[in-house]
Amino acid sequence: MLFFRKGQVICLLILILVFNLFVPFLFEGSYNSTVHSAGFEGEDILKGAGIALALIVLSQTLFQGRDDSREEEAIDDLPDSEENLARVEGEDEIKLLARVVHGEARGEPYEGQVAVAAVILNRVASSNFPDTIEEVVYQEGQFIAVEDGQYNLDPGESALQASVEALEGEDPSEGAYYFYNPLTARTFWWLRTREKTVQIGNHVFAK
């Protein structure tokens, strides 16, 4: 099937109109407006269809080169396979962080969501915790959202963006390895022994 841009359609209509106005006049030697206005004969219809088809083919040929060049430019703009792989791996990390952030801190200030993501990354960087984001997230007994299933909820845009910022180096938690809500924490007695770094919203962050 042939597809046309708006400019091509306009050009075709103009060219067809020109052919209908002047071709009969040039080849017949005179132009009888009364005859032409009275109706079209079968031969005229076939002639018009042939002209239209020829114009379509010509138009497609003229614009095909432009389309091909645009496709080549688009392909050139794509990153190579290694860059694509790195990007996908980065997206996986973002989703892991965002699920925890959404489960643990949705409803908290945006800065607090970034801080929760930063806590996970601080643990990855510490020798006292597992070495990957996935291992930190799934470490037994560490995140209530993972235990009660809230981790499986689709993260919102805020949680996703907060995770991106944390991966880029933002750390409102000020180097914390823990966060908790003093009103609901199950091990509040132990968490109180940790060095507090900052409180953001309902969460206290500590080392």
pLDDT in tens, 92-103: 889 999 999 999
Whether the pTM exceeds 0.75: the reply is no
Cα–Cα distances in angstroms (integers) from residue 174 to residues 52, 72, 87, in the given order: 72, 47, 27
Which pLDDT score, from 0 to 100, does residue 61 have? 56
pLDDT above 70 (res 28): no
Q: Which of 21-35, 85-99, 181-195 has the highest mean pLDDT?
A: 181-195
Answer whether 184's CB lies under 8 Å from 127's CB. Answer: no
Lowest mean pLDDT among 106-110, 151-155, 157-161: 151-155
For residues 185, 187, 189, 195, the Cα torsion angle rounded to the nearest 10 degrees is: -80
Kindly indicate the confidence band of residue 55, based on its pLDDT and cuts at 50, 70 and 90. low
Per cent of the chain over pLDDT 90 is 45
State how far the Cα of 178 lies from the Cα of 122, in Å rounded to an integer.
9
DSSP for the chain?
A: -----HHHHHHHHHHHHHHHHHHHHHHHSS--HHHHHH---HHHHHHHHHHHHHHHHHHHHHHHHHHHHHHHHHHHHS--HHHHHHHHHHHHHHHHHHHHHHHHHTTS-HHHHHHHHHHHHHHHHSTTS-SSHHHHHTSTTS-HHHHHSGGGSPP-HHHHHHHHHHHTT--TTSS-SEEE-TTT-TTHHHHTTSPEEEEETTEEEE-
**Fold classification of 82-206 (topology level):** Arc Repressor Mutant, subunit A (1.10.10)
Sheet of strand 196-200, all strands in order from the earlier edge strand to the far edge: 178-180, 203-206, 196-200
Answer whether 171's CB lies under 8 Å from 198's CB. Answer: no
pLDDT above 50 (res 35): no
Lowest mean pLDDT among 45-49, 158-162, 196-200: 45-49
Non-local CB neighbours of 156 within 8 Å, separated by 6+ positions: 102, 106
Which pLDDT score, from 0 to 100, does residue 22 have? 55
Which pLDDT score, from 0 to 100, does residue 141 have? 87
Domain boundaries, the chain: 6-77, 82-206
Which pLDDT score, from 0 to 100, does residue 186 have? 77
In single-letter form, the type of residue at position 89 comes to: E
State how far the Cα of 177 lies from the Cα of 186, in Å rounded to an integer.
17
Which pLDDT score, from 0 to 100, does residue 14 have? 63
Q: What is the mean pLDDT of residues 111-131?
A: 96
Q: Which of 13-22, 32-41, 62-71, 174-183 has the highest mean pLDDT?
A: 174-183
